[in-house]
A and B are shown apart, each in its own frame.
Chain A
């Protein structure tokens, strides 16, 4: 043998030795790791393994496996295994089961167990109706009695907009939203700041301001109805003491402006409670040292409010504005509480909001007529669209204005 060949042989032998050594060390390492990480098995688990898993493997899996191995030893079986079964199994394993396993792993099932109750309820009572009402809005001449309809159409939207009073309803809703929301946010912000700055009887006043929130809307509405009564109402009596003539707030002779004002006072008062609660919570989270620092710098109270309190509270203000904006677009109960289901004063002044239209088509047996339910759905879609647009605008603005 030539010298180089001998050298090559030695080299290969050495390589093999190294390989064996590496493998040996790796096994030792692995064994140690297993020893360290192996957890003591629970007795129940051991029981299952002994009486369920092992017999299953022994009497069912292994015979099948052995049979298949035997099958591959034959000529045809070997061919099939090599060119069909194995590649197909490999493919499924690699590209289907393994990725699926990565998604639907143990964590996923754990998460599902917790999410499922809420998810099922949401699907039944929220997602399904939403999708259904969207589809419903496009049906033509749909009758809920026999569930028949003549294809799809956009006429429902046109009908709704053309209906007398719908534009007035839009206007009413807009007035309620753009006047009651800013006013109630500002008032509740001031009340919260005042509440935060008093020391004694703080929780007492907090409770008082929170009371409207836990009181029934209709009950408050009835009380307001009496308070704004022309002849017996508290408000007019108070005005009389001040020497002002009684005002027709909400009766047959009330003007649209007066009727709306009454409604607005009621809405604003009713919505203050929750806002004050949120703002007081937010104020308590602001570090007192900011106020101390401002005090040392001789900042006036108004400037502290404007330059420190409001910016630091801006996430809360944004949250409250968005939620109450959405809430006001859906105004219905408050109008009913004062003006009844008709949504009109006795003098015929129309105070209905968009939601009235949605209800109008569902309530009172009207829905059974062909196409009416679809128009209700169309009205609700229009409302949805409006709310969506305003919410997006609001989110865009607050992203720019809200600090940190």
Chain B
């Protein structure tokens, strides 16, 4: 089912948590709401769930306007950040709890609970209390509890933040698999760009309550529309320089990086570390440090007065060279305006 937000705004006293958010979340996809802490992504999620009332704007599930509907009438499943499993109930009772509210008869409820438990792989844990489960298992129970009433939309609030690193990778795959199997629109919130990039079909990058960019993860990564998005995505982060365009050529200081069709102006140049390459015809840089980690090597050097990282294949440099000739892959230079918004240069 498609979720459509129109001009959604949420104001807490003085601060505007979400500012005029208009976006359509396609049906059956796994969508990641991504942004730094306090950018309003959780607020957006809770507004979709109905636990928070928007100050302005409408929320549509397909063509139904659900803005004024109570949470239980929207047909959503919500998984909380700390799972909110009832500590006094067993896993089975926890999963059955939503069904008891719907007054579904016990036999069918049990069948559905078993089906869900099999889906998330916790069937053998039915008689345990939440305190006897590991973080990952609790997470699965929470997902099963959210899914058991067959919601139209599944909402996950920071699903991986309470898990340790190894479990995080595992659960990531698990969430993706579960979403594929039940095939419902799933929206999850995260501040970890790697997490969002790895599992979502589509990501929505937000900052200070404002939508920045929406699209497939790889597309957003390759074509960030502003400086914030380019900086927020990618690890190691993008290198940025203050440079200028002169006669169709891009300069940082007096180093020429490439050509462009835009007019002469000052710009902020963003280059991802992996978009550098070793090139005999390129410019020469003095290597400050060189880290060789298996397949990739990180070169540290100073360009335009800024510390710069370049990620290059290990076999393209030999030994510990003092100077390296490098260049930038064509079409991989991102040019942003120097003003605060930092939009892409378009003229």
Contact = CB atoms under 8 A, between A and B. Distances in A.
A290 B89 CA distance: 12
Interface stretch (A186-194, A239-247, A275-283, A293-301): A293-301
Nearest to A293: B84
Contact of B86 (A295, A296, A300, A308): A308
B149 interface: yes
Given A307-B97, A404-B131, A293 B102 contact: no
Given A290-B86, A312-B87, A403-B88, A295 B72 contact: yes
Contacts of A312: 86-88
B101 A295 contact: no
A403 B71 contact: no
Interface SS, A side? helix
A370 interface: no
B49 interface: yes
B229 to A, nearest CB: 31
Contacts of B73: 298
A298 B78 contact: no
B134 to A, nearest CB: 17
Nearest to B76: A296
A296 B88 contact: no
Contacts of B87: 312, 403-404
Contact of B78 (A290, A296, A308, A403): A296
Nearest to A304: B101
Most chain B beta-carbon neighbours within 10 Å: one of A298, A299, A403: A298
Indicate the size class of the contact surface on chain B: 20 to 34
Given A312-B88, A403-B88, A297 B98 contact: yes
Interface string A319-362: 00000000000000000000000000000000000000000000
B84 A303 contact: no
Interface string A236-264: 00000000000000000000000000000
Most chain B beta-carbon neighbours within 10 Å: one of A289, A303, A308: A289
A298 B102 contact: yes
Nearest to B148: A297
A240 B84 CA distance: 53
B129 interface: yes
B313 to A, nearest CB: 48
A311 B51 contact: no
Contact of B72 (A298, A308, A404): A298
Nearest to A311: B88
B149 A297 contact: yes
A292 interface: yes
Contacts of B260: none
Interface in B81-130: 82, 84, 86-89, 97-98, 100-102, 129
A287 interface: yes
A330 B131 CA distance: 39
Contact of A297 (B72, B82, B88, B131): B72
B80 interface: yes
A404 B76 CA distance: 30
A148 B8 CA distance: 90
A292 B84 contact: yes
B49 A297 contact: no
A299 B101 contact: yes
B84 A290 contact: yes
A296 B70 CA distance: 8
Nearest to B93: A307
A295 B149 contact: no
Contacts of B89: 311
A310 to B, nearest CB: 9
A72 B129 CA distance: 71
A293 B80 contact: yes
Contacts of B50: 296
A314 B89 CA distance: 13
B151 to A, nearest CB: 9
Nearest to B87: A404
A296 B72 contact: yes
A298 B97 CA distance: 10
A336 B5 CA distance: 68
Given A289-B80, A299-B72, 16 more contacts: A290-B84, A290-B86, A292-B51, A292-B78, A292-B84, A294-B97, A295-B51, A295-B70, A297-B98, A298-B70, A298-B71, A298-B98, A303-B100, A312-B86, A403-B87, A404-B88
Interface of A: 287, 289-290, 292-300, 303, 307-308, 311-312, 314, 403-404
18 contacts: A289-B82, A289-B84, A290-B84, A292-B84, A293-B78, A295-B51, A296-B50, A297-B149, A299-B97, A299-B101, A303-B101, A307-B86, A312-B86, A312-B87, A312-B88, A404-B87, A404-B88, A404-B131
> Sorted from nearest, which 7 A-B pairs have the closest CB atoms?
A298-B72, A403-B88, A289-B84, A297-B98, A311-B88, A293-B84, A296-B71
